[in-house]
Structure formats: structure tokens, C-alpha cells
Amino acid sequence: MTNKPTILVVEDEEDLRDIIIYNLKREGYDAIGVETGEQGLGQANAIKPNLMILDLMLPGMNGLDVCRQIKQDSNTRHIPIIIVSAKGEEADIVSGLELGADDYVPKPFSPRILLARVRAVLRRSREAEEENAMSLNIDGLVIDSNKFQVSIDGKPEKLTKSEFSILFFLASHRGWVFTRYQIVDAIRGEQHVVTERAVDVQIAGLRKKLGGHAALIETVRGVGYRFKE
């Protein structure tokens, strides 16, 4: 067994892939490289890496489809993803971030820049795991962050990733008032572009699923939302 973080590099350009892997290993990481989206998806499910570096332009399954499937699968959605993309693909980068990618690095890039992003994303991931490694039980509403599950009076309730993240964030800070943008920054990162309306829609859907516990999420007029103390 090794305590080194494992990083999966999905890049079809062999020379670039080799350079990335070389620099990662030199920094003390375990690095594995593949060249297609299908191989990347298979390795993500097989080894559950601590981080993925994912090119968007890949033969066969493209990077966005890989990202989408990883973030939709409960077994792999926790894997942080750094997108690497050629300049001029801003729309795809935004799509990747909206799908749940954690960061992006435009090509061409220096190894030092990529390594700095890798360290930052891994650090945020560790901090999030430490913060979220808990289960909350509030008047029959059980929020298990380890299993990404919610139950109400013993009955499981299926939430989207965004709904779960909002619920857990608010419930972890009972009584605190957060603006819509503070909520977005906390669950998705400051670089994610979102409107106030999007947060309201998520809250409305969440309240509907919470049923009799919907009143636990309170609207603070002119400010935002809080979880009832």
C-alpha cells in the first residue's frame, strides 16, 4: 500500500502525457496515463484515483462525456477533475465546470502551473473530506455525507448533487444566514458562474422533496437562506 496520491492522466498526445506523468512522479505522486476517454472512464472506476487530469479533445469519447459520466456515478463523483484544454475552447471549459470539474488549465501550460493547480485541488479535496466526513440527524432528517444519502423518518430520499450539497452546507451551519452567492461559492467554487434564480430553483426543489421538513430551510428576506436553529 502507498500513501501517495494517485493521479490519472487522460491525454491522447503521447509526448504531453509523458511530460505530465514525469513531473507528477518527480513531485512524489503515483501517476497513470491513458489516451482515450473510454480508458479514462474504465480506470477511474477501477482505481478510484485521488485526482484526474482530463483533456477535452480525445479520440472516441470526448472529455466532457467522461466528466459527465464520472460526476453522475455515485462511485466516482467524488474524484476531483482538472480539465486541460486548448485555447479557444472556452465554451467547453465552462461546460466542464458546470458538470462538476474542479479547475482547468489552458494549453499550452508549464508543468509548474499544472503542479500548482494539482496541489491546490488535492488540498481542497482533503479539506472537504475532513469537513464532510460526518452524518447529521435533525428531527428525523438524516444527512450522511459519507454515503451521499438523505433519509426522512427512515425513508430514503433521492436528491441531486446540487440539492444534497446545499442541504448539507446549510445544515452544517444551523442558524447562519447565507446569501445565494455564498451558497454557490461554498458548494461549487468561486469560479462557477450562476444566477440568483438558479439557487432559488434548487431550494424550491429541495423543499418539495423534504416534505414536512421543508420549513427547516428558512428564507431570510433580502438576504438569502438559513437552516432553522
* pLDDT (0 to 100) of residue 191: 45
pTM for this model (two decimals): 0.60
Residue 8's pLDDT band (cuts 50, 70, 90): very high
Architecture of the domain whose range is 134-227: Orthogonal Bundle (1.10)
Query: pLDDT-based confidence at 127, cuts 50/70/90?
Result: confident
Mean pLDDT of all residues belonging to the chain:
87
The burial class, CB within 10 Å (0-12 / 13-18 / 19+), for 20 is buried
Query: Are the C-beta atoms of residues 8 and 44 closer than 8 Å to each other?
Result: yes
- In the CATH scheme, what architecture does the domain 6-131 have? 3-Layer(aba) Sandwich (3.40)
Please state the domain extents for the chain: 6-131, 134-227
Answer yes or no: are the C-beta atoms of 67 and 87 closer than 8 Å: no
134-227 and 6-131 share a CATH fold: no
Q: Is the pLDDT of residue 118 over 90?
A: yes
pLDDT tens profile 129-188? 666 556 788 888 988 877 788 999 889 999 888 888 899 989 988 888 888 888 887 776
